[in-house]
Amino acid sequence: MKKEMILIKAGAIIDGTGAAPLKDSTILVEGDTITSVGGNHGNPDTVIDLSEYTVLPGLMDCHVHTSFNGEPNYYDIVLKQSTAYRTLTSLRNVQNDLMAGFTTVRVMGEKSHLDIALKNAIQEGVVAGPRIVASGQNITVTGGHADLWLAQDIQYKEGLGGVIVDGPEEFRKAARIQLKYGADLIKLVVTGGIMSAGGDPGMPYHSAEEIRAAVEEAHRLHKKAAAHCHGAEGARISVEQGVDTIEHGTYLIKEPDVIDLMAKKGAFLVPTLKATILHEDEIEGLPDFYVRKTREAQGYAIKSVQYAMKKGIRIAAGTDAGSPGNRHGENAEELEMLVKAGMTEMEAIVAATRTASECLGIQNDVGVLEKGKRADIIAVRGDPLSDISILKTVPFVMKEGKIFKEVS
């Protein structure tokens, strides 16, 4: 069957590499692939006129949780909603990400491998949604962040989107189980966190040996390993044991040499600044510990990112979407936050395109607009290089050559 040829006429193209925009240019899409950027093209089947718009690669959110959508009562969701129900809300949530221009999301720990099911159903065309990079269940220890800290006589093995295991051999097995069922990466919940009642975000809960065993299994299959780390010591142990991406990195600035170590090892930072914002009107209904921990994290998170930028760490955009007050579809607020922290608008766009694709290990397929890449293309009105908030309204979305949102 002949592939449909679509010619996009763009007012400007920001290609995701960080290069200056191409004015009044074109992109040719054949089937699901970009076959040319710029130049003249013969007889396309369809012409899409985006000459009043700026065209960019589909954006990527490197850290989302799909069965939540910013609700304050997330413990109720974990303990009372079935996997079937959570899968349905997950579908709605990732569709909101897609319609906001985020054509790829990395899901960082979901119950019962629902993220892997969602990924496969989207890939096979059963349902519409963004490209999903899935971690399966996250891996944590007894008393770690993703442990729900329930009463001693109440057992709940999956924790906050993950498995609770102890010792290197259980870690190895937990990693192998995720990979067996199709996880693209493994996620370790190394330090304490904000959303859990117990534990200290600054403290590491996993041992070096446990991290090492899980990372070995991921790397053996050429998959990546990510570590949730607020505190610097957890990040240090993780990076030493070969972890590829540090999630959050809130308190890295307390031990800046860890950032130097990340630079040396080539680790990525996914700062999730959006998750540290707590609007006054969103506090009601949130557990006290959540409000306290989030307020403590603000400020440190910004300073950590600023030092990471100075040291040339590769920073990829991720929102932690789903966490309280942090809704799917508002993902572009992270780019605003990165600019507020000191990135140029172009650097923030690269963090959500090329650098994000490298962080996810999918840079051969997507991330920049060039010949041979999958046609994940969005368009916005105006110039996001003069006002990054323009990316919060995305009127045109194409994923793999298929149009999901069309300008009128």
Contacts with Zn ion: how many residues (CB under 5 A)? Answer: 2
Nearer to Zn ion, 55 or 141 (CB): 141
Q: Which is nearer to Zn ion, 12 or 195 (CB)?
A: 195
Tell me the residue nearest to Zn ion as measured from the CB. 320
Which residues in the 79-138 window bind Zn ion by CB under 5 A?
108
Q: Which of residues 34-63 bind Zn ion (CB under 5 A)?
A: none
**Closest CB to Zn ion among 320 and 336?**
320
Q: Residue 60: beta bridge partners?
A: 104
Distance CA 57, CA 222 (A): 26
User: Judged by CB, which is closer to Zn ion: 8, or 188?
Assistant: 188
- Looking at beta carbons only, is 189 or 302 nearer to Zn ion? 189
Q: Which residues contact 19 (CB under 8 A, 6 or more apart)?
A: none
User: At its nearest, how many Å lie between Zn ion and the CB of residue 319?
Assistant: 9
Minimum distance of Zn ion from residue 228's CB (angstroms) = 6
CA-angle at 71, arms to 69 and 72, nearest 5°: 150
CA–CA separation, 351 vs 359, rounded Å? 10
Tokens of 364: 């051969």
Interface mask toward Zn ion for 274-313; x: CB under 5 A:
----------------------------------------
Parallel, antiparallel, or unpaired: how do β-strands 245-248 and 268-270 relate?
Answer: parallel
Nearest CA to 64 out of 106, 103, 22 is that of: 106
**Beta carbon of residue 178, minimum distance to Zn ion (angstroms, whole number):** 16
37: amino acid identity, one letter: V
Q: Determine which residue in the list 115, 147, 217, 320 makes contact with Zn ion, applying CB under 5 A.
A: 320
- Compose the 340-369 pattern: x for residues touching Zn ion by CB under 5 A, - for all others: ------------------------------
Q: Per DSSP, what are the bridge partners of residue 139?
A: 163, 188
Give the shortest CB-261-to-Zn ion separation in angstroms: 22
Q: DSSP letters of 274-319?
A: GGG---GGG-TTS-HHHHHHHHHHTTHHHHHHHHHHHTT-EE----
Contacting residues toward Zn ion, per CB under 5 A? 108, 320
